[in-house]
Structure 1
Amino acid sequence: MAGDMTGARVRQLIAESGLTQAVFASKVGLEESKMSKSLSGVRRFTSLDLARIADLCGVSVDWLLGANPMTPSVAARTSTAPLTASDAAIREAERLAQMRADLAFLGYRQDVPKFRRARTFLLSVDQGRDLAVHATEHAAARKVTLWQSRDLAEAVEAAFGVDVRVHRLPDGFDGLSWVDEESSLIVVGTSEFPARQRFTIAHELGHLLAGDDQGLHVDANIQDAVHKRKPSEMRANAFAAELLLPGDILKEEAAHTTWSREAFARLACRLWVSPSTLAWRLFNLELIDRSLCDSFKAMTAGDAAGLAGSFESFGEWLQHASTPRIPSLLVRATAQAYADGKATLRPFANLIGLDTDTLRQAISDTREDSPLAL
């Protein structure tokens, strides 16, 4: 039974701590009698009790409830082995997924819409396009226009409730998606190529909405030739292309555009995509010929920004893509659990990278004097 497992694991933690049961109880804010009753099964540990025990001992609430570690294969890697970008991204996904599991136990569940599976009689590319159309409609109903959103991480969270983490990684890494019973998340690396990062977020969203994997899906390099030929990758790429560069929008643009390097550059900058991606998309839609495609796809993002006169906005975008980002919905849920008295401050502090004393001081009732005070 879950209660027996929880009691056994709390006893294990007490033994490993070297503290007496009374001292351990006091450190987690419990009277010794309540601790004894909880360990014997007469009284149930409350969610706050478990949060405090997990906080004190450096374990998860899920583990206290009897769950095993999420991915033993990753946990089993030796600490002396070099940490690859994929390893670091997976560990971050595990950490965030565990936070979501703990929050779900406390009553703060992630709200992610369920999408119908792609129609299997369609080709992978057509499945991706079909899914993107439905995703676009879903987002529009929530007043989010995905193809116009430079900051796609924020837009995806607002429209779909998916946690999006931008994480600084040791070497090149595109992204991964993770889904389980309690969490749905995307992890991408910080990047000096903002258009590629944006496409990766859309690509990973395609995996999540298509239900490609229950668990972990890693795309270390979405441009790898062999990787791209997998049906699930073809679907995710088609999804991202339609989501960020809707066919109807491009056809409307092409109808009143006289193509030149300047006109093409302005469109690429306005749509927040790389010149190469836009050139291939226009060619695949038969809106430009192969000669123009070859000419335009050779343009760099810097070339496009210069031709479009948008170096300032490109610089801001580059800075934004190079900066780590914490999922805002997860921050909100973690902070709310603390404000409601259902969790300690440590999970919130760990998530945003502050020590608990600094965070406690920042959110305390103590107010600093205003320089405008008389």
Structure 2
Amino acid sequence: MDKELLAAGERIRSRMPSEMSQRTLADLAGMKPDALSRGLNGQRGFSSMELARIADVLGVELYWLVTGEQDPRRVRIAARHSWDVDRGVRANPGRARDEALLEQVAAAYNAAFPAGPPPSRQLPEIPADLRAELGEDFVENFGEVVETRLGVDVIRLPRITTSYSLTIGTRGIVMLATTSNWFWSNWSLAHELAHLALGHHGGSAEPGEGDERPADDYAAQLLLPEKLVEQENWHEMDERGLARFLWQTGVSTKALKKRLAVLRIQPSTEVASALKQSTPALIRAHATGDRMIGDRRYVTLRQQASSARELPSLLVEALQRRVEQGAISPEYLAWALDVPVDEIDFPEPDDAGESTAVYQQALESRPSQTALGDWLATNGLPAQ
């Protein structure tokens, strides 16, 4: 009896609800009960269409059902939701507009890493533990630190309406909108890291508004941990001290005001008044050579860093290699570098008639049902 056939049967059994009978599953999957029973017991192989229907019925990934492993190219997305005052719910009204960019990012990763991108580190579920991994003063170069220490890619793109976190296989990716408000960018990055750390990409349904509050709480504890906030003398702090604290923690006046309220800390009258100001105005007013902030040039550098389009070097270098090998269209690299495709050097087909199709291919797609059937046949699960 084939072990792989038995393993596929066991995976199907493991995801059948306790109240679901084999006959019910067979009916829903369009199979005869005897055929399903023999398949579950390793006495026959499932066809590709049978497995696809079973996967739909059980709400599982077809790739996992076939191989027992997570799809290295599977894309899971979580978005930062804003509060819809009229409806009284969190919403992401710009998702439809962002879809093309999300698809472009996924296509670039799949072109760069056909077997799936390298995995990220498992992020700790406790914010204090993640803060310890990021190290002291991580806010100054938050995105770079996240990439080097956690193996989570940070992408900054213009025209995207909100922040997103993605997993492609086991690689964590955070997409941020370019903005001069570095403090908004910092909070969004912390919020999306929370989605990754709390496993909001691991279920059968796309992460939704119910995951937003836990992500916000995680971000607050990561950027403004209770111990850090409470060690300040808020009753005697002046406006200059507030500006220094905001600069060091990389958060906004609005975020800090909420955090103080949660921790039941009543600041001085001067601080309470200053918290009504915009963050850039408050910090610039005190960025005059202060040893903790420096001059306004440092403020401008933070603004430039958070407002510049940026893709991870890991992705760009992989695309470069694949283009040089003639394996993918140079348009992927042109998009990543944000340059005309004419500026990209790539090998021309030789006189022997090397195919040029690779240079005209559209976004890479998943295998067809026929290809999947062939794959099943070569792996001990023959199509019927």
Distance 2:302 2:130 in 1: 24
Shift of residue 112, structure 1, vs aligned partner: 0.6
Q: Does 1:185 align with 2:173?
A: yes
DSSP-derived class of the 2:345 partner: helix
Q: 1:70 to 1:133 in 2, by over 3 A?
A: closer
Distance 1:353 1:242 in 2: 36
DSSP-derived class of the 1:360 partner: coil
Q: 1:70 to 1:202 in 2, by over 3 A?
A: closer
> For residue 285 of structure 1, what is the aligned residue in structure 2?
263
Question: One-letter code of the match for 2:105?
Answer: L
Q: 1:332 to 1:111 in 2, by over 3 A?
A: farther
**Normalization by structure 2: what TM-score?**
0.56
DSSP-derived class of the 1:185 partner: strand
Distance 1:104 1:345 in 2: 15
RMSD, matched Cα: 3.4
Q: Report % sequence identity.
A: 19
Q: 1:181 to 1:68 in 2, by over 3 A?
A: closer
Q: Does 1:329 align with 2:314?
A: yes
Question: One-letter code of the match for 2:316?
Answer: V
Shift of residue 332, structure 1, vs aligned partner: 2.7
2:319/2:333 contact within 8 Å kept: yes
> For residue 343 of structure 2, what is the aligned residue in structure 1?
358
Distance 2:233 2:271 in 1: 17
> For residue 249 of structure 1, what is the aligned residue in structure 2?
228
> For residue 86 of structure 1, what is the aligned residue in structure 2?
95
1:178/1:216 contact within 8 Å kept: no
Structure 2: runs of 5 or more not aligned: 1-71, 77-92, 289-294, 347-384
Q: Does 1:110 align with 2:114?
A: no
Distance 1:327 1:299 in 2: 34
> For residue 145 of structure 2, what is the aligned residue in structure 1?
155
Q: 1:115 to 1:313 in 2, by over 3 A?
A: closer
Spell out, residue by residue over 1:164-197, the C-alpha distance to the aligned partner (whole angstroms, 9 max, x if none): 2211117xx2311122425432222122422112
> What pairs with 1:49-88 in structure 2 (closer than 5 Å)?
85-88=94-97
> What pairs with 1:16-27 in structure 2 (closer than 5 Å)?
none
Shift of residue 206, structure 1, vs aligned partner: 0.7
> What pairs with 1:99-178 in structure 2 (closer than 5 Å)?
99-105=108-114, 107=115, 109-115=117-123, 118=125, 131-140=126-135, 145=136, 148-169=138-159, 173-178=161-166
Shift of residue 269, structure 1, vs aligned partner: 1.9
> For residue 202 of structure 1, what is the aligned residue in structure 2?
190
Distance 1:360 1:260 in 2: 57
Q: 1:313 to 1:260 in 2, by over 3 A?
A: same
Structure 1: runs of 5 or more not aligned: 1-66, 72-83, 119-130, 219-226, 362-374
2:220/2:259 contact within 8 Å kept: yes
1:190/1:322 contact within 8 Å kept: yes
DSSP-derived class of the 2:120 partner: coil
Larger relative helix fraction: 1
Q: 1:68 to 1:338 in 2, by over 3 A?
A: closer
Question: One-letter code of the match for 2:189?
Answer: I
**Normalization by structure 1: what TM-score?**
0.57
Spell out, residue by residue over 1:287-326, the C-alpha distance to the aligned partner (whole angstroms, 9 max, x if none): 4448666424202121232034343322222233222222
Say which one has the larger Rg.
2
